[in-house]
Chains A and B, each alone.
Chain A
């Protein structure tokens, strides 16, 4: 059994069906990416896993436990932390306060400073800006903060929703280097990305989504050289 098993989930926004039976699997230690165009259901898949938009049908098992109908806080407690779409940092709070909220559900206050240090090692920029309001930082810095904040929850599975959205290519590259580093340090990652180039570079496997369905799945290297994927998502 896989670490994360999403089995035929169907998710709706009101009456509109966004996911028409998505099945994916993520093994422990892997970095897996979902690619696809706008409206393909990538973010909705992540929101279904994290409980923000629960799936109406189908099952999601994490480490053997059924989580599809759990509320978001229970899912976070099990170790699935998310950097949501559009970063969603708390604009009027400082960088440090944002990171503190990332550890909201944790009881082990003793390790808090150590984890904070780890985040600052990963993103030195955040260390420099500890006392700055998140809303006054650039998009790239806010993205770093959103990832760092999710990491403060000590995730066993990290969900990243479009980390390159609205960010300069240079910063995107730096963020992806860090994502690769987080994965190498042992955190399992499920990544959603429209900008497939970077995503396929750091991930080991990928799924291609179209209008709420998985249309292709393969090793990331193979997807990168697939002519159809290249044409549709890599812009080459």
Chain B
């Protein structure tokens, strides 16, 4: 009901009424609120899908775009936890790790002894079908990653249920670190005869994405386009779910929770369930993206799962605008291009002015500086969510009719 996309401060126009008279049935359908909402995502995704056609199939730009798409999925996931539900999660890397290990375990030669060295193969074709280890089709791995990370998200959420604000941040931070440590030392942890992870050496190679009806992504192939399209499909899926959730009953419960926990609870919003669903959903997206990245980067190794990754994703959310879906998309694209292209390209810039370091060493310094600038110039983010913009630009604390002294008297 509250989803009518009319601007908030338009006195005089009653909600839900369109003042222009539609000229034809088509125009009427195009101006219907539901269709209007679809136009932007469809145009955006459609244009993005054309990008690989103008690029060379091995273009580094295509690689950057694929990574950016994967990071958009991550950032949209974190946005549900931090932006919608207001639970500051500093350990998002945990879900990246769990998603990546899902494909590491289920889509590589890591468990070489599985099935007496014959390997276990589920719905895989081509080269991988003849290799030892466990090889499960990418789509099934994606589902497994989704399930694993949802459960992990809820488990990580549990101890934070009684906490608020900064304390949630500390607990989630610790969980991110724990998962990172397990990844790093997993080569010394074993279940039966099997190592848990391969530590810093990493699990490699990882199976290429193998989609039904499409020719398998060839090992060593230089065509980056199918990867980009798969990443884009994930973005489309996650965007769709994000929009649907935002306008759903659950979405409103998240926002109510973010605004005021006590009030939300008095309205009958179940705090435990609502929070756990936020953690679970947000984690699931991180896991899906993690599984994709594991396959795309062809390695799952402990060095990938650092605390700085959580901060990187969080910066995307904040830069774009907490809680704003399009803002987060823009933030994720901007920061990943900066990280994977702009900064590496200017790597030698400091030496030109006689300084002895590479610009890439300063990446996080640059992101930090950028965030500080943002907080000063545009604290609500690049494309702010409507509500948050109001908080930062209007005084909402007022509300006492009586001067303080009069109340005391």
Contacts and interface: CB of A to CB of B under 8 A. Distances in A.
Interface residues of B, number: 38
A104 B390 CA distance: 24
B266 A72 contact: yes
B401 A140 contact: yes
B259 interface: yes
Interface in B236-272: 249, 252-253, 255-256, 259-260, 262-272
Interface stretch (B25-33, B363-371, B392-400): B392-400
B387 A92 contact: yes
Given A96-B2, A131-B15, A166-B401, A90 B260 contact: yes
B402 interface: yes
A130 B8 CA distance: 11
Given A82-B266, A100-B1, A133-B396, A91 B391 contact: yes
B402 A92 contact: no
Interface string B289-304: 0000000000000000
A71 B399 CA distance: 31
Given A72-B268, A102-B267, A135 B396 contact: yes
Nearest to A85: B262
Given A52-B265, A84-B266, A88-B260, A104 B401 contact: no
A139 B400 contact: yes
B268 A142 contact: no
B268 A93 contact: no
B355 interface: no
A168 interface: yes
Contacts of B264: 101
A90 B272 CA distance: 20
Interface in B1-60: 1-2, 8-11, 15
A90 B259 contact: yes
B191 interface: no
B353 interface: no
B407 interface: yes
B33 to A, nearest CB: 16
B347 interface: no
Given A84-B263, A101-B252, A105-B268, A136 B394 contact: yes
A133 B400 contact: no
Interface centre among B267, B271, B388, B402 (most CB of A within 10 A): B267
A149 interface: yes
A52 B402 CA distance: 29
A159 B106 CA distance: 55
Contacts of B272: 71
Interface in A46-76: 50, 52, 71-73, 76
Contacts of B10: 131
Contacts of B249: 104
Contacts of B388: 92
A130 B255 CA distance: 19
A10 interface: no
B399 A104 contact: no
Given A92-B388, A100-B252, A77 B399 contact: no
Contacts of B11: 131
Contact of A97 (B2, B394, B396, B398): B2
B1 A139 contact: no
Contacts of A92: 259, 387-388, 390-391, 396
Given A90-B263, A93-B259, A133-B394, A76 B268 contact: yes
A218 interface: no
A121 B2 CA distance: 21
A166 B253 CA distance: 28
Interface of B: 1-2, 8-11, 15, 249, 252-253, 255-256, 259-260, 262-272, 387-388, 390-391, 394, 396-402, 407
Interface of A: 50, 52, 71-73, 76-77, 81-84, 87-94, 96-97, 100-102, 104-105, 130-131, 133, 135-140, 142, 149-150, 153, 166-168, 171
23 contacts: A72-B271, A88-B263, A92-B387, A93-B256, A93-B387, A94-B8, A96-B1, A96-B2, A101-B256, A101-B264, A101-B267, A101-B269, A104-B268, A105-B268, A131-B8, A133-B8, A135-B390, A135-B397, A138-B398, A138-B400, A139-B400, A153-B268, A171-B401
